Amino acid sequence: MPIHEALPNNLVFERPVIFSAKADINEDGNFEGRWLAITEENVLVYSSEGEILMEVLLSDIKGARLDQYIGGGCLVIETFQRNAIALVRYTSSLTNKFSIAVKVISNLVNKEPVPVLSTKDLPRICPSCGRPLQEGTSVCPVCVDKKKVIGRLFNYTKPYRNKTILAVILLIIATLVELAPPYITKIIVDDVLEPRDFGGALGTFVFALGATSLLVTIMQTLRGILGVWIGSNIMGDIRKDIYQSLMRLSLSYFDRRQTSQFIGRVNSDAEAIRQFLTDGILWIGAQFIMLIAIICLMFTLSWKLALLAILPTPIVILFSLKIWPKINNLWYKQWQAINRLNIVVGDSLQGIRVVKAFGQEAQERNRYMTGNKRLIAQTIKTDGMWQGIFPLFSFLTGTGILLVWYFGGVSVLKDEITLGTLMAFIAYLGIFFGPLQWFNQMINWLSQAIAAADRVFEIMDTASEVPDSPDAASLKKVRGAVKLEAVSFGYEKYHPNLKNINLLVKPGEMIGLVGHSGAGKSTLINLISRFYDPHEGKITIDGIDLRDIKQEDLHKHIGVVLQETFLFAGTISENIAYSKPDATPEEIMRAAKIANAHDFIVKMADGYDTKVGERGQRLSGGQKQRIAIARAILHDPRILILDEATASVDTETERKIQEAISRLVKGRTTFAIAHRLSTLRNADRLVVIDKGEIAEVGTHDQLLAEKGIYFTLVEAQKELSKIKGVEVG
């Protein structure tokens, strides 16, 4: 039985709890925990201290519902004795789990099976720390295993191991050579300037300074070019893996997420990783080597001054470690604000026609400005904190330099050290505190790259909900026999869209799927196409379970014309040939003629090379539909699925397409859904689906004679047609 949340130990029940959930608002509207528990006999509400605040018997409950308010809601039950009782109140973030509670109560009241919850139905919180997770990701920025992520990133360097080793060698050489000028300066001061040696040694040492500077420049240039080459290739590999992973995932994964966030992961997150791999690792590595080398040199020059110099270092490091979690948290909130703004932009631009059709430009501007203001405020908080911290870091590191100047100056005056040693020491100290001042920024930079990498790896690691079995077989030839055995399915398991579907379809048979909107017709063809797997039962083609067939082979034998026509940004010819990229111009033209698309195509200025625009927006609905049909025709499948294939065309065009389809379906197993029932009258059988179940099966004439659901639907369409002035046959 599903337990939504683990109950506190101080709550005791006489019967097993079927469902439990914690609300976060009390009866007075204040933030305080309340527990809802549902058993086989009653519904109970508890305080956090374990006190029973309310108890209602299931036998007294007539129904349950959610009342939604601004920022929250209330779970309400209707009883036979009283009109309504408010059980618990909650903030909007808990709406999902209390909607499940409504379903549980309703099912128990109506003596129906208790819904089975899946992982996606549970609240999105980190299992380790309990923090809420950002929509579309299961990555907690606080609990992420940073060592594991970095190790996985470094695995991408293996194909470029030799060049990576060369880059590291160049890095070490350039870093060490960069430390030579202060020491050469010491020699110039102590051995040339103070003794006033005019023997020409000055020119030699100045030349050495120039040579080291030139060598550092060459090394840094080579290292930079090599780093860019390695980083770019690694990012190419990562982007490839991200995109391949996205193509592998099932439709249900995308149903629960917005497209904008994937664009962000493929582009923004991948770019953050590239910058870290190309610039960050080399820079951090160089600074680390430099710090170690400088410390060694300073202790060699003067161990007393070295101790004074590094005196502020522990304070800087401790302060950085203290402030870093706050900066990391602020950065994560800034990323959330950017992500939300990207989603707003993506929605608005993808639905720009709807926006303009309803004159909602002002509303979309307001949505954007609201998100933009949040991002501005969060950016000010994040960058403002850093701008306040950086001067403090400079002050702390500056105290070390002051100590060295004073005590070093005293040592020079006492002839304990030379002036050149002090100058070299000051120079090394300036170099030393440079990377130390950026210590916090390095940690922040690293954390951003790790968080981005973990979000990317999350996509790669997500298992497809419709996977190929390990021993999946290839499907070379298909006769077209389709069988559904006790198939049940729901996009949410606790709310099935199809229940116990049994259907045997012979090869070459045409099946018309009929029913009210939302009855489950499109869901059924989604299962036959194996966009989803049934939760119960199985579907076979020629006696082979779909789960035992490689999906790539399966879809080669299934042609689909979906209700929502989608065309890619390209030419008409490219869109028709999408199902068969190697198709000849003659094959493309033949498919277009069968789909009754050839005539309108050749009338266009560029003919088959006409650009259709994004999502085919330069074409009418009927034109897009005919190109989609031509695409399916060129595919030449053994099983054909038509989901409202003629919904977007006029009557004359529909007649011509129906003639073409009647020729196309011969010898092919066909499943057809049509808005106008008259177009299905020639189907071998009609299957009427009602509330997710097969209600009637028969021919057009047989179902009319039965005067059941199909008869009612036909009569309703006749009445509608009379109103429109169109006669239905």
pLDDT value for 373: 87
**71 or 231: which leads in pLDDT:** 231
Query: Could you please report the per-residue DSSP string of 659-690?
Result: HHHHHHTTTSEEEEE-SSGGGGTTSSEEEEEE
Tokens of 27: 């009866």
Backbone φ and ψ for 79, nearest 5 degrees, come out as -115, 165
Tokens of 318: 């401790």
Element housing 701 (H / E):
helix 700-706
pLDDT value for 8: 60
Distance CA 369, CA 293 (A): 51
Q: Which of 717, 726, 727, 625 is nearest to 676 (CA)?
A: 717
Distance CA 557, CA 481 (A): 12
Which of 129-143, 582-596, 664-678: highest mean pLDDT? 582-596
| Tens-digit pLDDT profile for residues 577-588 | 888 888 899 999
Q: Could you tell me where the DSSP H helices lie in 414-514?
A: 419-437, 439-461
CA dihedral 604, 641, 525, 473 (to 10 degrees): -110
* Sheet containing 558-561: order of strands: 558-561, 639-643, 669-673, 510-514, 685-690, 693-698
Tokens of 16: 């097993």
Q: Which of 429, 456, 450 is nearest to 324 (CA)?
A: 450
The CATH 1.20.1560.10 portion of the chain extends over: 146-461
Query: Could you please report the per-residue DSSP string of 547-577?
Result: GGB-HHHHHHSEEEE-SS----SSBHHHHHG
Query: Could you please report the per-residue DSSP string of 420-436?
Result: HHHHHHHHHHHHHHHHH
Query: Could you please report the per-residue DSSP string of 591-644?
Result: HHHHTT-HHHHHTSTTGGG-B--GGGTTS-HHHHHHHHHHHHHHH--SEEEEES
Query: Could you please report the per-residue DSSP string of 273-324?
Result: HHHIIIIIHHHHHHHHHHHHHHHHHHHHH-HHHHHHHTTTHHHHHHHHHHHH
pLDDT value for 440: 54
Distance CA 505, CA 541 (A): 10
729 pLDDT band, cuts 50/70/90, is very low
The CATH 3.40.50.300 portion of the chain extends over: 480-557+639-648+669-724, 563-636
Residue indicated by tokens 């980190």 = 126
Quote the radius of gyration of the chain (alpha carbons, Å). Answer: 35
Q: What's the pTM?
A: 0.62
541 pLDDT band, cuts 50/70/90, is very high
Tokens of 336: 């959330």
pLDDT value for 353: 66
504 pLDDT band, cuts 50/70/90, is very high
pLDDT value for 724: 52
Distance CA 355, CA 389 (A): 44
What is the mean predicted confidence (pLDDT) over 50-73? Answer: 83
**Residue type (1 letter), 293:** A
Backbone φ and ψ for 252, nearest 5 degrees, come out as -60, -30
CATH architecture assignment, domain 563-636:
3-Layer(aba) Sandwich (3.40)
CA distance to 116, 347, 490, 528, 564, per residue, from 254 (Å): 22, 15, 16, 19, 16
540 pLDDT band, cuts 50/70/90, is very high
CA torsion sign for 119, 120, 122, 127 is positive
pLDDT value for 1: 41
Q: Could you tell me where the DSSP H helices lie in 302-438?
A: 303-309, 313-350, 352-357, 361-413, 419-437
CA distance to 127, 150, 159, 284, per residue, from 280 (Å): 31, 13, 20, 6
| Tens-digit pLDDT profile for residues 604-650 | 888 999 888 777 778 877 788 888 888 888 888 889 888 876 655 56
pLDDT value for 116: 59
Task: Identify the CATH homologous superfamily for domain 480-557+639-648+669-724.
Answer: P-loop containing nucleotide triphosphate hydrolases (3.40.50.300)
What is the mean predicted confidence (pLDDT) over 339-367? Answer: 77
pLDDT value for 438: 60
* Percent of the chain residues topping a pLDDT of 90: 4
Distance CA 150, CA 449 (A): 9
What is the mean predicted confidence (pLDDT) over 161-187? Answer: 83
Q: Are 71 and 56 in contact (CB under 8 A)?
A: no
Distance CA 438, CA 364 (A): 40
Instruction: With a cut of 50, say whether residue 2 has pLDDT above it.
Output: no
Q: Are 527 and 576 in contact (CB under 8 A)?
A: no
* Average pLDDT of the chain, as a whole number: 79
Distance CA 124, CA 250 (A): 20
pLDDT value for 485: 92
Which of 285-294, 617-626, 633-642, 720-729: highest mean pLDDT? 633-642
**448 or 375: which leads in pLDDT:** 375
What angle do the packed helices 180-187 and 161-178 form, to 10 degrees?
A: 20
CA atoms within 13 A on the CB side of 233: 14
The CATH 2.30.29.30 portion of the chain extends over: 17-121
CATH of 17-121, one of 2.40.50.100, 1.25.50.20, 2.30.29.30, 3.10.310.30: 2.30.29.30
Q: Are 668 and 633 in contact (CB under 8 A)?
A: no
What burial class does residue 412 get, using C-beta atoms within 10 Å of its C-beta: 0-12 exposed, 13-18 middle, 19+ buried?
A: middle
Strands (E), 40-152: 42-47, 52-57, 61-69, 72-79, 85-91
Choice among 96-105, 319-328, 365-374, 559-568 with the minimum mean pLDDT = 319-328
| Tens-digit pLDDT profile for residues 654-689 | 676 677 677 677 778 989 887 777 778 788 899 999
pLDDT value for 3: 46
What is the mean predicted confidence (pLDDT) over 162-190? Answer: 83
Instruction: With a cut of 90, say whether residue 502 has pLDDT above it.
Output: yes
The topology (CATH level 3) of 146-461 is ABC transporter transmembrane region fold (1.20.1560)
484 pLDDT band, cuts 50/70/90, is very high
**711 or 203: which leads in pLDDT:** 711
Strand partners, 338: none
pLDDT value for 727: 45
